[in-house]
Amino acid sequence: MGVKETVKALSVIGIGEIYITGKVKVGGNVKSYPNKRQVLRALFDSYKDCTKCDLHKSRRQVVFGDGNPDSPVVFVGEAPGEEEDIQGKPFVGRAGRYLNEQLKRIGMPRETVYITNVNKCRPPGNRKPNYIEMQACLPYLRKELSIINPKVICCLGATAAEGILGKKIQITKMRGQLFPYPYNPSVKVFLTFHPAFILRNLNAEGEFIEDLIKLKEIVKGGL
């Protein structure tokens, strides 16, 4: 991407100043994005060296979202694991491969959707990101979602639901339900289990597949 294109892309995601050989101020608010990949690339580039929380000290790299930015559904997980930290893509480890299988099974293959995480850096030992770490990443996630502007955000697990909805969630009781996205009520939030949970609790697999089928029906029906 050239300098002119980068400046334009950064302006539409709310970054008002960049530095090249001096200060360049960019203005204007754009609510639609004719080239989402370009705007996402600019957003990614602006965050790739992020040091807002301590996770930057142990990460290999920042792991951005991946997939089709024109998808009507975005899947949001918790945070990268070891394989994601190595490869630089979300959901490429064991849980990701399982998710890929189930998405293909219901006729919604991975390459047709967009997948990201609440946190973009791997927490040590794959632990849950803490409050400070989540708050550092959430503004980035919200910009990412505003660019894609999906019909439905599918939260994979309680941590993703907490980050998206801003409150504690009991995923076993609230899975399969729809909620308005607080930052754009026209976008719906759908809750289900994280694939890693299913791999540890195979007795819940039927409910997970049931949720994915329901999600596909919701997206197809246009809400």
What CATH number is attached to the domain comprising 154? 3.40.470.10
**Between helices 36-47 and 3-12, what is the axis angle to 10°?**
90
pLDDT at 44: 94
Higher local confidence (pLDDT), 144 or 14:
144
Q: What is the mean pLDDT of residues 193-199?
A: 97
**Average pLDDT over the chain, rounded to an integer:** 88
For 149, phi then psi, to 5°, come to 50, 60
Spatial distance between the Cα atoms of 134 and 148, rounded to a whole number of angstroms: 20
Q: What is the mean pLDDT of residues 90-100?
A: 97
pLDDT at 221: 84
What single string gives the DSSP state of each residue in 68-88? -TT-SEEEEES---HHHHHHS
Higher local confidence (pLDDT), 213 or 28:
213
Predicted confidence band of residue 223 (pLDDT cuts 50, 70, 90) = low
Residue 15 included in any domain: no
Closest listed residue to residue 134, CA positions, set 186, 190, 76: 76
Residue 38 included in any domain: no
pLDDT at 17 over 90: no
Residue 142 included in any domain: yes
Structural domains of the chain, count = 1
Q: What is the mean pLDDT of residues 111-135?
A: 96
Residue 166 included in any domain: yes
Higher local confidence (pLDDT), 13 or 199:
199
pLDDT at 183: 95
State whether the Cα torsion 172-174-177-183 is positive or negative.
Answer: negative
Spatial distance between the Cα atoms of 39 and 34, rounded to a whole number of angstroms: 9
Spatial distance between the Cα atoms of 132 and 52, rounded to a whole number of angstroms: 9
Structural domain span for residue 159: 50-221
Spatial distance between the Cα atoms of 122 and 128, rounded to a whole number of angstroms: 9
pLDDT at 51 over 50: yes
